[in-house]
């Protein structure tokens, strides 16, 4: 397939090492039915249950700015991998579905999580057998910044309508490793923003991540996959922590398309993607940097008790597009 038009942006790539980059421990989403969600993420996508327990109500209220009962949580991931996990949060009285508010792919919000697959046809067959058929795709494409790489992608919705991107990566001249897992942990967490440069600075200068790719994309492939209008262009930026292949951040910006602002919608107990948890070396310093870069303060550095991690110093901020970023002492 002819590669899509790409154009390097003027954004400054690189990172701020400070005390070491923050690592994306997990993404969080509220769910209406914990068993149904485990049926998707654990039983279909093959992620292992790491822990299942009630979260301390005071910790949840402080981090997420709510005043509700203690939610039941389940954290799933790949054994031996402490990044790219998924935290499912279930309140006794779940709110409305955030997916029902989304009217366009360019609405500013936490858009999806990307999970790598070793064999797309088999992955989609397994999902379909469990009742989860792709919303769009699969489509195959290439980008100029990844010579020799062919990507195949499909979007699937979980039981609450949250988007999961399944992506198979094939490299010219390299056979698929038969030992590769059918599904990986969260490789990339994608969000749509109104100001890409501001968001890049938040992750790069606030969390110390490395901005390693920045491009403009357009073409029929993305019109089919994402549902953008014919001829529309969008900016895609990627950040990572060190050399990890999981827990990356993907930022999408549609400069000519105006979407709805989810800043006041993306919050528990509404069901859907709402947050990211980063393990950082210095919570107080990172929190201060994030506030200095324009993040909205939510929870100042406070001793908290968290599922899987136990007693840790934690804090949280909210981004301009409504996403809650938790900072937890590594």
Across the chain, what does the average pLDDT equal?
A: 90
Q: What is the pLDDT of residue 10?
A: 37
More confident residue, 8 or 74: 74
Q: What is the pLDDT of residue 197?
A: 97
Checking if the pLDDT of 193 tops 60, the result is yes
Q: What is the pLDDT of residue 17?
A: 43
Confidence at 15, pLDDT banded by 50, 70, 90: low
Domains in the chain: ranges and CATH: 24-97+262-329 (3.10.180.10)
Determine the average pLDDT of the residues in 66-95: 93
Minimum mean pLDDT among 68-72, 98-102, 122-126, 305-309: which range? 98-102
The answer to whether the bond into 29 is cis (omega within 30° of 0) is no
How do residues 253-268 score in pLDDT, each as one tens digit? 999 998 888 777 788 9
Q: What is the pLDDT of residue 222?
A: 94
Q: What is the pLDDT of residue 260?
A: 87
pTM: 0.92
């Amino acid at each position: 397939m002819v590669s899509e038009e790409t154009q390097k942006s003027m954004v400054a790539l690189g990172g701020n090492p400070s005390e070491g980059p923050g690592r994306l421990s997990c993404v969080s989403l509220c769910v209406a039915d914990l068993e149904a969600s485990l049926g998707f993420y654990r039983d279909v996508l093959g992620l292992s249950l790491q822990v299942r327990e009630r979260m301390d109500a005071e910790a949840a209220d402080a981090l997420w700015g709510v005043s509700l009962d203690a939610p039941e949580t389940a954290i799933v991931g790949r054994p031996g991998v402490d990044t790219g996990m998924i935290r499912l949060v279930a309140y006794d009285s779940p709110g409305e579905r955030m997916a029902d508010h989304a009217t366009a792919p360019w609405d500013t919000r936490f858009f999806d999580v990307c999970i790598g697959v070793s064999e797309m046809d088999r992955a989609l067959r397994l999902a379909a057998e469990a009742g989860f058929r792709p919303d769009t795709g699969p489509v195959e494409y290439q980008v100029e910044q990844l010579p020799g790489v062919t990507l195949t992608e499909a979007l699937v919705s979980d039981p609450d309508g949250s988007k999961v991107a399944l992506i198979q990566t094939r490299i010219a001249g390299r056979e698929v490793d038969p030992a590769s897992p059918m599904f990986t942990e969260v490789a990339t967490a994608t969000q749509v923003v109104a100001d890409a440069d501001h968001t890049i600075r938040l992750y790069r200068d606030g969390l110390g991540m490395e901005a390693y790719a920045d491009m403009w994309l357009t073409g029929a492939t993305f019109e089919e996959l994402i549902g953008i209008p014919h001829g529309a262009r969008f900016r895609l930026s990627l950040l990572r922590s060190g050399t990890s292949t999981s827990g990356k951040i993907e930022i999408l910006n549609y400069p000519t398309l105006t979407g709805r602002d989810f800043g006041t919608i993306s919050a528990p107990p509404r069901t859907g993607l709402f947050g990211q948890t980063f393990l950082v070396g210095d919570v107080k310093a990172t929190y201060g940097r994030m506030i200095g870069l324009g993040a909205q303060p939510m929870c100042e550095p406070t001793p908290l008790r968290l599922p899987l991690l136990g007693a840790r110093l934690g804090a949280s901020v909210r981004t301009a597009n409504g996403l809650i970023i938790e900072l937890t002492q590594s």
